[in-house]
């Protein structure tokens, strides 16, 4: 089981898109349209799910958030 999946990779996995810079930009914009929802996982980081933030925050031992890719932050491709 892979443990170091970045949030952007998980979004690509969730939407069944190849992990590329252009797909990441497109899918991050799509994620922004969902209000109060974020991507997370319960047991397997390779099986991302979308849940409302309140649900994720209310069960921190069950649902885990992905970290943002440091490459994207360093290259100013996304806002942190």
Report DSSP letters for 37-76, one per residue.
EEEEESS-TTS-EEEEHHHHHH-TTT-EEPBPPHHHHHTT
Q: Residue 28 is encoded by which pair of tokens?
A: 């991050």
What pLDDT is attached to residue 80? 46
Residues above pLDDT 90, as percent of the chain? 79
Query: What would the pLDDT profile of 3-27 be if each residue is shown by its tens digit?
Result: 789 999 999 999 999 999 999 999 9
1 within some domain: no
Query: What would the pLDDT profile of 57-72 be if each residue is shown by its tens digit?
Result: 999 999 999 998 865 5
Phi-psi region of 36 (alpha: psi -120 to 50; beta: other; left: phi over 0): left
12 within some domain: yes
What pLDDT is attached to residue 7? 95
The parent domain of residue 34 ranges over 7-74
79 within some domain: no
How many domains is the chain built from?
1
55 within some domain: yes
2 within some domain: no
């Amino acid at each position: 089981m892979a443990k170091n999946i970045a949030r952007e990779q998980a979004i690509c996995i969730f939407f069944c898109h190849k992990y590329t810079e252009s797909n990441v930009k497109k899918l991050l914009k799509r994620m922004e349209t969902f209000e109060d929802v974020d991507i997370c996982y319960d047991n397997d980081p390779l099986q991302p799910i979308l849940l409302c933030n309140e649900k994720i925050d209310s069960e921190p031992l069950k649902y885990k958030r992905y970290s943002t890719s440091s490459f994207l932050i360093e290259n100013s491709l996304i806002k942190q």
